[in-house]
Chain A
């Protein structure tokens, strides 16, 4: 990745931040001020991969370094597209600012607790991010000083900016977010098949005559590798059986704490409270440390129930939930897994465990995910002279031979009840 690394010293007076992948990343005064806000600094205390470090000890990188990386990547792409006449020079900083802020809505422990948020409040981190950008006092102080429109920044994250190209740069099959997280997560986990040929992608990415992101035919292999890397990372990291077990366990702990130690979790217990903390400038305190500290305090001060303290002890000592059912299917078509008989069977089995054996709900958790690897309608386009086709229509591409969907069905149970559940299934 020679082309990506800024090995030359940056100019005098220009601030820069050293990144483990790209080297020195220069930042403007405005960008630096946004980065210095408590709301962005908070991302230093939210791990990118939540509890993946239980399996890959090096995976302790944060949302902060990822956000800087996305800013850098989008800057490189934008610079190229400005030179080709597709983006206004004035919007370079706007796109970089949106990139710095695209993940500010992540909950502590990223997707582990986000799962609770989506199930309980039907809100995802992108929606929380747009609310933060429009209401966080620290960010808005900086925006006011520099005349930045918070609505315009949030519209890019929401995918509703007037320029569709800007939305695609941050949210499409080939966006800056994915490019950085594949590189960064691959580096920190050591999962080598997550690596991508980012140099080729960034040096050849362009816009086709319809206004969509595209690459020339000479980059087809780089794009194929990009899709394959995602497929491998989904299985080896993002939905790894053991990592997912710890994330499910973390969600259970959080939900039991919400019941038993609600006062300690205020003001992050309801959606209206969370939105209120954002407006009051207190959101930055809701980080991994906050939850980890409360888990330690629960043990030190003997708070909550025996069950809660047991769960926390198990997590801290790396004893996770166990999968008593684990099935991964690769398919060319969506399997509608959420509505499938398999999902219903898992739900029934869970019902048996909780009703017949009398165990609490959090002791048996179904994990049903269907991942769409290639968005057929919006996948990467390949430019060949005057014609443009989606990579799924590119005759010689191996994308036509790889699965479009990965379906994962699992049932996790608390380690204490594993044997009894196995006995029940045998009977």
Chain B
């Protein structure tokens, strides 16, 4: 069974330090894992529901709150190339003038609206703007612009 240590390891590999005692860090981890699974085939096997704040997995939430045991951590081998591409995406997002967790929420939500949600919105970007107006049109465009470089490979 995958536990918080494997998610911590992935986050560290992509350059994110996290403390899962904090809600905001658990939220960020949810988005990273969804993006890792959906865009980069780094499959942890979590099922996600469509929530107000984007993809959410109850099982992952529970795992993130499990005690850490990093020295005993037994995680599956992850494809190095996929991890590097995820890291590259995150680094590019850091360059934007938007909080990283919001950028990841936008990308994860965009992906879920495009692939998993039903009825599927005709224009997922418009739908995002409708649902998350507080992020702003320009910010959403900038985030999706970065995302587009990674979505076709």
Contacts and interface: CB of A to CB of B under 8 A. Distances in A.
A393 to B, nearest CB: 9
B135 to A, nearest CB: 14
Contacts of B58: 372, 375, 378
Nearest to A124: B47
A267 interface: no
Given A160-B116, A377-B26, A336 B66 contact: yes
Interface in B18-33: 23, 26-27
A164 B118 CA distance: 11
Interface string A192-223: 00000000000000000011100000000000
Interface stretch (B48-56, B81-89, B98-106, B137-145): B48-56
A333 B65 contact: yes
A210 B48 CA distance: 19
A90 interface: no
Contact of A151 (B27, B48, B67, B118): B118
Nearest to A338: B1
B67 A336 contact: yes
A159 B50 CA distance: 6
A166 B3 CA distance: 29
Contact of A378 (B51, B116, B117, B118): B51
Contact of A162 (B49, B62, B66, B117): B117
A396 B49 CA distance: 31
A160 B49 contact: yes
A372 B12 CA distance: 27
A160 B51 contact: no
Contact of A210 (B27, B52, B67, B117): B52
B49 A155 contact: no
A334 B119 contact: no
A340 B69 CA distance: 11
A117 B122 CA distance: 37
Interface string B112-139: 1100111111000001000000000000
B121 to A, nearest CB: 7
Contacts of B37: none
Contacts of B127: 162
Interface string A267-304: 00000000000000000000000000000000000000
A403 B120 CA distance: 40
A376 interface: yes
Given A162-B119, A375-B61, A167 B23 contact: no
Interface in A352-381: 372, 375-378
A152 interface: yes
Given A333-B67, A377-B61, A378-B56, A155 B117 contact: yes
Contacts of B118: 151-152, 155, 160-162
Contacts of B51: 164, 167-168, 378
A376 B21 CA distance: 11
A335 interface: yes
Interface in A62-111: none
Interface of B: 1, 3, 23, 26-27, 48-52, 56, 58, 61-63, 65-67, 69, 112-113, 116-121, 127
Closest 6 CB pairs of A and B: A159-B49, A155-B118, A334-B66, A336-B66, A211-B52, A377-B61
Given A160-B49, A339-B3, A375-B61, 10 more contacts: A152-B119, A155-B119, A160-B117, A162-B113, A162-B127, A212-B52, A333-B66, A333-B67, A372-B58, A377-B23
